[in-house]
């Protein structure tokens, strides 16, 4: 029986939701409630989740509050608070947009709607970065509302991505990718015309491609208290990211690092804009000018942010200490050497091309300074273990057959 004064309600059923669920289980021996649009194998076969509420209309803006009201009625217990946590940008957006109604039933730590729009819409985000001295790649904006020809004088290759990912994915089309890399004007025009035809009407971000393999990518996680003060800051180098076109940008392995200057810079940015809750930055090191350039900030913990929990800074505890117990905490800048992975060792040993990083990966594996949260020891469902083993085998095939 949960003897804590709260019940975690996690929105989502994917890897990120699982990592949050095991964070609660590790820290408090609590089995959380999950609410999702569809069942996913990461979570549906788990023994550390109390119950999964499936509501196919969860993505419907007009049904979201009704669904969460129903969930609140079902799980409310005298003397316990319902702690609400989103696991993707869309769910967090819905929580923020309906914050007033949801506050009647739940406690949570998310920013204002105005700030969210400034951070999630990339054209606004890059302007904020400029104001606060944060480097970003050279960027152009194309309006899918105006649909004019793109005539800027640019150097190739370029990266193209939607300014508003939430709206972009509402307009599905064949060959849709999270990020496009184009080598010439013809390819650029082709992507623009496909996106225009889909019905998406926000901006496209057209951006200088920063050279370098996966190991040039960097990740930073922050927890900002309800008072807007940084309590945790991390920095990590990506070892591998997903290599299928629909999942580029999802990290599958990284090594934690310490870079006080960059951590302080990102902390300063978050505190200056009035950020609260978990933040997850994606950056890339540009060896042409020696600068780390920020691509985006996810307004939640990322699916690889579990490394904070693995290193003794449990994600669930940050939420609970802040939102439930109102604890003030000094800032911890994580200074550890650890390998986080969701891919098998064989993938790490075979597909990390950077020789120095490959050497380091093998060393960390040898020293036991690594972990894969999907194989959580206290999750004992036999069928889930079989599913995970099959998934590990598929990862090998994916890396063998796909190059980004």
Q: pLDDT per residue over 58-92, tens digit each? A: 999 899 999 999 999 999 999 999 999 999 989 99
Distance CA 35, CA 72 (A): 11
In a domain? residue 124: no
Q: Are residues 222 and 183 located together in one domain of the fold?
A: no
In a domain? residue 323: yes
DSSP annotation string for 39-51 = --HHHHT-SS-SE
Q: Are residues 68 and 173 located together in one domain of the fold?
A: no
Q: Cβ neighbours of residue 228 under 8 Å, at least 6 residues apart?
A: 270, 271, 274, 275, 276
Among 388, 303, 324, 335, residue whose Cα is nearest residue 22: 303
In a domain? residue 125: no
* pLDDT at residue 233, as a whole number: 98
In a domain? residue 129: no
For the segment 123-147, the average pLDDT, to the nearest whole number, is 92
**What is the SS3 assignment for 276?**
coil
Q: 3-state SS of 327-367?
A: CCCCCEECCCCCEEECCCHHHHHHHCCCHHHHHHHHHHHHH
Q: Cβ neighbours of residue 358 under 8 Å, at least 6 residues apart?
A: 349, 352
Tell me the pLDDT of the chain averaged across its residues: 93
Chain segment 323-362, per-residue pLDDT in tens = 999 999 999 999 999 999 999 999 999 999 999 999 999 9
Can you say how many angstroms the Cα of residue 284 is from the centroid of all Cα atoms in its chain? 16
* pLDDT at residue 209, as a whole number: 94
* pLDDT at residue 1, as a whole number: 55
In a domain? residue 131: no
Cβ atoms of 376 and 350 within 8 Å: the answer is no
Is the pLDDT higher at 165 or at 112? Answer: 112
Q: Are residues 70 and 155 located together in one domain of the fold?
A: no
Q: Are residues 143 and 287 located together in one domain of the fold?
A: no
Q: Are residues 67 and 148 located together in one domain of the fold?
A: no
Q: 10 Å Cβ neighbour count for 355? A: 8
* pLDDT at residue 232, as a whole number: 98
Q: Are residues 148 and 203 located together in one domain of the fold?
A: yes
Q: 10 Å Cβ neighbour count for 29? A: 12
DSSP 8-class letter at 133: T
Please state the φ and ψ torsions of residue 334, each to the nearest 5 degrees: -65, 125
* pLDDT at residue 249, as a whole number: 64
329, two tokens: 């905490």
Chain segment 127-138, per-residue pLDDT in tens = 899 999 999 999
Chain segment 271-328, per-residue pLDDT in tens = 999 999 999 999 999 999 999 999 999 999 999 999 999 999 999 999 999 999 999 9
Q: Is-above-0.95 flag for pTM?
A: no
Cβ atoms of 315 and 277 within 8 Å: the answer is no
Residue with tokens 């933040």: 279
**Residue 28: in which H helix or E strand, if any?**
helix 15-28
Q: Are residues 203 and 274 located together in one domain of the fold?
A: no
For the segment 17-27, the average pLDDT, to the nearest whole number, is 97
Q: Which of 108, 130, 164 is the last residue of a domain?
A: 108
Total number of residues shown for the chain: 404
Q: How confident is the model at residue 381 (pLDDT cuts 50, 70, 90)?
A: confident
Split into its structural domains, the chain has a count of 3
Among 318, 340, 339, residue whose Cα is nearest residue 329: 318
In a domain? residue 176: yes
Judge whether residue 246 has pLDDT over 80. no
Q: Are residues 49 and 167 located together in one domain of the fold?
A: no
* pLDDT at residue 10, as a whole number: 98
In a domain? residue 115: no
For the segment 240-268, the average pLDDT, to the nearest whole number, is 86
Which range of residues forms the domain containing residue 32?
A: 6-108
Q: Are residues 195 and 219 located together in one domain of the fold?
A: no
* Torsion sign over Cα 360, 362, 365, 367: negative
Q: How confident is the model at residue 244 (pLDDT cuts 50, 70, 90)?
A: low
111, two tokens: 């920013």
Q: How confident is the model at residue 245 (pLDDT cuts 50, 70, 90)?
A: low
Q: How confident is the model at residue 23 (pLDDT cuts 50, 70, 90)?
A: very high
Beta bridge partners of 8: 83
Q: Are residues 218 and 345 located together in one domain of the fold?
A: yes
Q: Which of 93, 108, 123 is the last residue of a domain?
A: 108
Residue with tokens 């990590």: 236
Q: How confident is the model at residue 403 (pLDDT cuts 50, 70, 90)?
A: low
25, two tokens: 């289980």
**What is the SS3 assignment for 183?**
coil
Please state the φ and ψ torsions of residue 206, each to the nearest 5 degrees: -115, 120
Distance CA 325, CA 63 (A): 31
Judge whether residue 196 has pLDDT over 70. yes
Q: Which of 208, 225, 257 is the last residue of a domain?
A: 208
Distance CA 355, CA 271 (A): 38
Q: Are residues 97 and 178 located together in one domain of the fold?
A: no
Judge whether residue 269 has pLDDT over 80. yes
Judge whether residue 47 has pLDDT over 70. yes
Can you say how many angstroms the Cα of residue 165 is from the centroid of all Cα atoms in its chain? 13
Distance CA 305, CA 342 (A): 12
For the segment 162-175, the average pLDDT, to the nearest whole number, is 89
In a domain? residue 258: yes
* pLDDT at residue 342, as a whole number: 92
């Amino acid at each position: 029986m949960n003897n804590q004064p709260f019940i975690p309600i996690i929105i989502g059923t994917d890897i990120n939701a699982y990592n949050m669920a095991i964070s609660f289980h590790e820290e408090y021996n609590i089995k959380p409630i999950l609410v999702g649009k569809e069942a996913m194998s990461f979570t549906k076969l788990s023994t550390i989740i109390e119950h999964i509420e499936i509501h196919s209309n969860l993505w419907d803006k007009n049904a979201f509050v009704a669904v969460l009201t129903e969930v609140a009625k079902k799980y409310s217990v005298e003397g316990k608070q319902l702690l609400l946590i989103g696991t993707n940008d869309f769910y967090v957006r819905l929580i923020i947009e309906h914050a007033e109604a949801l506050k009647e039933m739940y406690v949570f730590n998310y920013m204002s709607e105005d700030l969210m729009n400034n951070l999630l819409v990339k054209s606004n985000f890059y302007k904020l970065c400029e104001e606060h001295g944060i480097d970003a790649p050279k960027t152009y904006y194309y309006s899918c509302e105006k649909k004019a020809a793109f005539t800027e004088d640019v150097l190739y290759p370029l990266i193209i991505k939607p300014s508003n990912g939430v709206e972009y994915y509402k307009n599905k089309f064949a060959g849709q990718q999270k990020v496009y890399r184009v080598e010439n004007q013809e390819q650029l025009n082709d992507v623009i015309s496909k996106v225009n035809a889909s019905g998406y009407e926000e901006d496209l971000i057209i951006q200088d491609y920063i050279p370098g393999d996966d190991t040039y990518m960097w990740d930073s996680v922050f927890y900002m208290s309800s008072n807007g003060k940084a309590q945790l800051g991390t920095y990590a180098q990506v070892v591998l990211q997903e290599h299928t076109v629909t999942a580029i940008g999802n990290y599958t392995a990284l090594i934690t690092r310490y870079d006080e200057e960059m951590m302080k810079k990102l902390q300063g940015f978050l505190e200056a804009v009035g950020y609260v809750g978990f933040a997850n930055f994606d950056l890339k090191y540009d060896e042409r000018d020696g600068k780390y350039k920020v691509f985006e900030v996810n307004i939640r913990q990322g699916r690889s942010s579990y490394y904070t929990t693995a290193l003794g800074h449990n994600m669930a505890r940050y939420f609970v200490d802040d939102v439930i117990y109102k604890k003030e905490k000094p800032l911890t800048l994580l200074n550890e050497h650890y390998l986080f992975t969701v891919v098998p060792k064989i993938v790490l040993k075979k597909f990390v091309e950077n020789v120095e990083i490959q050497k380091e990966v093998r060393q960390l594996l040898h020293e036991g300074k690594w972990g894969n949260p999907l194989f959580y020891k206290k999750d004992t469902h036999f069928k889930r273990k079989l599913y995970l083993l099959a998934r590990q085998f598929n990862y090998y095939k994916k890396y063998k057959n796909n190059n980004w």
